[in-house]
Structure 1
């Protein structure tokens, strides 16, 4: 993966080769299915020998005419797409012209004809129909692939907007400017998340899906790290570790954007050498060697086969160096690996010598010797494969058994808060050693991963741990330099929780790789993207928590919830940034908007399988409180608007305020409606989150307007001494959280008081 951010020059796609008909998405494949079915019907009729009846010929004619009519409608859409996209217009019109001609040709070939006696003649021969069908499928596929380029262009345009916003954020010098830039960045991230999520679900190649999932996960997690690291840098502009942390986040996000480019524009081809796939993955090399050994039964281990066997064995031995050189590999595992490697060398020498003899003097005895050698070497390679799996999985299991992460992070936070730089350095060394051990575990897991998507996930897990570790150390140093800085403390908390989330993902990955090694396969690959668990914890409406029954989400449902959740999270970030401008933090508008942001954030955490909302019933109850709090905010806003002099801003504010009751009523109606079954529950979750977003979006527009009018109005916004966070209603018997305290984007340092949602997210693991 590239280390530099993508530039505008290389952000555009390479020139599209419309003659390359490789289909990479499921949507294109599914679009072609009905056409393939109809064409198959036409071609199969040519298989039947003998004269066709008039009834059969009419049926064939109807199918041909239906194909032609469908193609005419299809190419009209394609031409409209071409008219709106100049860069593909020429190719699109050319492909549409071919498709139209092919459709007309199909119709002609299936037309009923009569001989001189008036008898129906059989339609065209099979070869003519096959040629026409091939031409039609080729042209239609070209049209679909060209239309797909429009989708890719949309992703690239959204990506460029995110890059521009990142560049603006990087150059900001003031808190006010940063708030504006980050708000715009959030909107553009939502658009990119929608487009890349759809693309991820549409891709056929599991490797491409895994890469897109990795890129999206990096961008999603980096959003909060970008917010807090930039705030820390603005608060402490002369602090070098703070700048290093912030710069590291920018680098990671730009790498993820480059990875998106790689997925939408490129392919995934392994390099080849001497006709053999070269790979740093030990599992792949071992499997290739096992296959070559089996092939020796047919090739009789000739010179060419012996050369290939030696080359691949050298590759296997080279990749196992990561296992034997690791400081965390036990002595027993290392010795076992070395023994099996030596045995594999010996077995290959024996097999090669028998093959050489057999090549010169073929006889039955030598063939039997060759068979024995093949069996022996196959057994040795399988033993080596199992030993490597045990080594990697044991090393990962040892890390999770020790569970050192929380203690190491707690020590860094504590020593940083006391300003003890020497102790911070001491604990940083221990944390760095732990980080290296995790990276080693990821590297070995990647070697034994039985599928390419799992290997890719392990690779990016290693990269993420490698990048986040030094950032945590730098933030601990920043806090030690400025021990009274609340904003530095908040940033360290956010990065620490991101670390724990990454380690949690790694534990899930270890389980998947272990299942794969044991031959356990699931019906559908679950990638480590939002929501990570891949299920909705369903509880029947009105039931107790004992009735929880996890319901597995399919890929489309998972992506939909993921997109809604991410959009809600970015809305809460935008709303928090706007409320942080308020100087008077005792008024109802500020408090209720901040509290609603906290509630919405906890609902976002639910889409990730995190936080204190454990079931759908918890989600619906939280949304109910959210709607009730919206009604209370409406009353406070009405009281405030009545005190504002007539002006255009007041008119706009009143219009927005009047939208709140309908959103609240709709939300309360949805949350209280009964449901039964997975599909109905999922739809209710979907509608609940969407309606929450509608209300949150309106409030996000109201808060800055209220702030502007409050600054111009001598009468302050309403205050209330009876304000009670979370509507004074604890969730399922849990203690009521403390009132949320805002993160400050002001020049004074009050930046790391977290909202309840953050506390919920970071304490529940």
Structure 2
């Protein structure tokens, strides 16, 4: 029997939102993938039949759990029963196919495997909906007690309502913590964490502001304190509601409250623009759809740089440089659009150099603008420590004066409040600009959280001081002001910590570690628990060292291919070359690990590196897929696609291996060995892809002046050109007015 090649991709894990569902699916996916691949590997019929029976038995046990969930939850009962029925039928179908394979008829294995995984995924998603429903019920319970707290008129009733509120908050905190840990998406995890912080920190303020409001019902400032806390807590619960429902079937709402957390950054727009320019460069032009996308991204970029150029705290030199670079990007994109339109309308020859020049100019300006934005934000961030120290001192003075406020002290109180508002505005501006240069989604959400809470809770320190100034002998007002001053201190500390984290990641010092694929020690790890060191015996070390040596040889071959490409193409910015060399560097680090050398110190470091290796392979796959569109039909293109189509399967197999849980030395050794083997297989196919790409380019199969896409529609070209030109004029006007 001929080899069947690598198994097809059986399930798209991007549709899975939670880690628990992913972990449940991965062993089944791996088992079925092995079953599918065994058809072409000479596996005995009896072995295939046994695996099929085992899969069917496992599905029966899984379905029994799903049916129990259906019995306990009437809301999903009907859907769950149907999904369990489909999963049971798919499991039996797998068993029948395996029996057929044992008899020599292996047809229908892949469709049956896909049907089984689809049915199992549906059951898991329905079970996840039950978890989400429990969380939303807890959130609704807290919301109802908040309404009750807001409407009580006497202290005894308030105490009873607050006791109920506290119990609901404990349950909500537990469920949100579990959900946050289970979410796969980094931004969603950060949003839940931010909302939980608001609820946790606001609870004490809710107590003191409500007591003060009941003690002094005629005080407008006391009522403002209390209403602000209620508003912020409801906003936090709205954000939790949005995050936990996001991605569930039939729930695509996007509230205005959620939209403010989804706002993009200047660096995000720059990276998006860079990707679109690289795509245009690879295709030798841009069709009407891509030109519209360029105009839209440029518009977003210009709008986001306004936060830098419109800031009263941005220096004149920074403002002028940012405006000039934004104008330059708009000009280069205008050139790119004009050349692309000319090619489509007139078939202009020799336009490849013009497109290359425009793309190179836009790329260079983008890099310089990113540096300018980071430099401006860093200058702002240098002002943060003295600003925070002064703001803390002012809040302390405010609290001291408010308790003994005569006529003279009243004027000084007003003066301190004005200075505190000035400091607050400056700190908020710094947080806003730091968000634009944040390199991770977690830091972006943290910056947004800091900005919003400073804007809303910062002025409430002054408001609480006004209440105490009106009632200097009030113990409730004194306690309330102390709590708001504590919140003020927390927010200032958050801003300082945020600035350190963001600036650490944007530090471009030449001595900074060049090899940045691994997260920093102690941060961004794949587990919250410290891992125990695992020592391997001599036989285990020898086996892994042998595999590592084979991978080192492949890494050297990859380096040779990329050096040959660079020597021929003379293009240091070639994305295929950069991705391939990065993968080679990762593979070499993994080889060093097998010798007990290099940067990877623990098995967890190795597994994390393998995850990044798989992600880089996915990126390279997408780039080469775009490259293949330019290769004319023929033997070379067929060979390229044959190698390229194997990449996703090997990537998925490596990802499955990395995510497989292990306990004990033997299991860890087995996982290390498997990870290195899967990395070696993926490295092998990537090396063939890069070699074939080089052959395609080196043999002149892709002349640049013939790579322009001439098949797109021409409608709307003028409007796109005018849009780009409009933003160029807008940038010039901003520069003249500054």
Which one is further off, 178-187 or 254-263? 178-187
SS in 2 for 1:418: coil
The counterpart of 1:65, out of the listed 49, 53, 67, is: 53
The counterpart of 1:215, out of the listed 184, 195, 200, is: 195
RCO higher in structure (CA 8 A, sep ≥6): 2
The counterpart of 1:151, out of the listed 131, 144, 151, is: 131
Aligned equivalent of 1:224: 204
Aligned equivalent of 1:423: 412
Asked if 1:38 corresponds to 2:31, the answer is yes
8 A contact 2:384–2:496 mirrored in 1: no
Aligned equivalent of 1:90: 78
SS in 2 for 1:301: coil
| CA displacement at 1:362 relative to structure 2 | 6.1
| CA displacement at 1:357 relative to structure 2 | 4.7
Aligned equivalent of 2:309: 324
After superposition, where does 1:186-335 map in structure 2 within 5 Å? 186-267=166-247, 280-302=264-286, 304=288, 305-335=290-320
| CA displacement at 1:174 relative to structure 2 | 2.5
8 A contact 2:401–2:413 mirrored in 1: yes
Asked if 1:411 corresponds to 2:393, the answer is no
8 A contact 2:13–2:22 mirrored in 1: no
Aligned equivalent of 2:684: none
The counterpart of 1:29, out of the listed 18, 22, 28, is: 22
Q: Deviations over 1:589-642 (max 9, x none)?
A: xxxxxxxxxxxxxxxxxxxxxxxxxxxxxxxxxxxxxxxxxxxxxxxxxxxxxx
| CA displacement at 1:396 relative to structure 2 | 2.2
| CA displacement at 1:348 relative to structure 2 | 2.9
Alignment gaps of 5+ in structure 2: 1-11, 255-261, 531-738
Aligned equivalent of 1:132: 112
Relative to 1, partners in 2 of residues 1:525 and 1:457: Cα closer, same or farther, differing over 3 Å? farther
| CA displacement at 1:249 relative to structure 2 | 0.5
Relative to 1, partners in 2 of residues 1:279 and 1:196: Cα closer, same or farther, differing over 3 Å? closer
Aligned equivalent of 1:141: 121
Asked if 1:104 corresponds to 2:84, the answer is no
8 A contact 1:449–1:455 mirrored in 2: yes
The counterpart of 2:493, out of the listed 496, 500, 504, is: 504
Aligned equivalent of 1:686: none
Aligned equivalent of 2:144: 164
- Whole-Å Cα distance in 2 between the matches of residues 21 and 441 of structure 1? 35
SS in 2 for 1:46: helix
| CA displacement at 1:487 relative to structure 2 | 2.1
8 A contact 1:236–1:242 mirrored in 2: yes
8 A contact 1:302–1:359 mirrored in 2: no
Q: Deviations over 1:433-488 (max 9, x none)?
A: 22211221222122222233322221121111111012111101001111122221
Aligned equivalent of 1:636: none
- Whole-Å Cα distance in 2 between the matches of residues 155 and 307 of structure 1? 41
Relative to 1, partners in 2 of residues 1:307 and 1:86: Cα closer, same or farther, differing over 3 Å? closer
Aligned equivalent of 2:165: 185
- Whole-Å Cα distance in 1 between the matches of residues 396 and 171 of structure 2? 37
TM-score (norm 2): 0.63
8 A contact 2:246–2:252 mirrored in 1: no
Aligned equivalent of 1:730: none
8 A contact 2:100–2:106 mirrored in 1: no
Relative to 1, partners in 2 of residues 1:174 and 1:515: Cα closer, same or farther, differing over 3 Å? same
- Whole-Å Cα distance in 2 between the matches of residues 270 and 163 of structure 1? 20
Q: Deviations over 1:331-360 (max 9, x none)?
A: 121111122122223333344444455556
Aligned equivalent of 2:103: 121
| CA displacement at 1:167 relative to structure 2 | 1.9
After superposition, where does 1:226-625 map in structure 2 within 5 Å? 226-267=206-247, 280-302=264-286, 304=288, 305-359=290-344, 365-402=350-387, 403-419=389-405, 420-518=409-507, 556=528
SS in 2 for 1:111: helix
- Whole-Å Cα distance in 2 between the matches of residues 101 and 396 of structure 1? 61
- Whole-Å Cα distance in 2 between the matches of residues 203 and 279 of structure 1? 20
RMSD: 2.9
8 A contact 1:421–1:481 mirrored in 2: no
- Whole-Å Cα distance in 1 between the matches of residues 158 and 525 of structure 2? 38
| CA displacement at 1:139 relative to structure 2 | 0.8
Aligned equivalent of 1:79: 67
8 A contact 2:49–2:98 mirrored in 1: yes
Relative to 1, partners in 2 of residues 1:257 and 1:279: Cα closer, same or farther, differing over 3 Å? closer
Relative to 1, partners in 2 of residues 1:254 and 1:427: Cα closer, same or farther, differing over 3 Å? same
Q: Deviations over 1:639-669 (max 9, x none)?
A: xxxxxxxxxxxxxxxxxxxxxxxxxxxxxxx
- Whole-Å Cα distance in 1 between the matches of residues 26 and 368 of structure 2? 44
| CA displacement at 1:62 relative to structure 2 | 1.5
Point out the structure with the larger helix share.
2
- Whole-Å Cα distance in 2 between the matches of residues 239 and 555 of structure 1? 50
8 A contact 1:446–1:454 mirrored in 2: yes
| CA displacement at 1:302 relative to structure 2 | 4.3
SS in 1 for 2:86: helix
Structure ID, larger Rg: 1
- Whole-Å Cα distance in 1 between the matches of residues 383 and 314 of structure 2? 11
Relative to 1, partners in 2 of residues 1:109 and 1:347: Cα closer, same or farther, differing over 3 Å? closer
TM-score (norm 1): 0.61
8 A contact 1:358–1:367 mirrored in 2: no
Alignment gaps of 5+ in structure 1: 1-18, 114-119, 272-277, 527-533, 536-551, 559-765
- Whole-Å Cα distance in 1 between the matches of residues 384 and 252 of structure 2? 34
Relative to 1, partners in 2 of residues 1:307 and 1:177: Cα closer, same or farther, differing over 3 Å? closer
- Whole-Å Cα distance in 2 between the matches of residues 285 and 21 of structure 1? 23
Which one is further off, 517-526 or 102-111? 517-526
SS in 1 for 2:41: coil
Q: Deviations over 1:130-151 (max 9, x none)?
A: 1111111111111111111111
Relative to 1, partners in 2 of residues 1:42 and 1:345: Cα closer, same or farther, differing over 3 Å? closer
Relative to 1, partners in 2 of residues 1:513 and 1:167: Cα closer, same or farther, differing over 3 Å? same
Q: Deviations over 1:3-28 (max 9, x none)?
A: xxxxxxxxxxxxxxxx9993100000
8 A contact 1:166–1:185 mirrored in 2: yes
8 A contact 1:21–1:141 mirrored in 2: no
- Whole-Å Cα distance in 2 between the matches of residues 557 and 246 of structure 1? 39
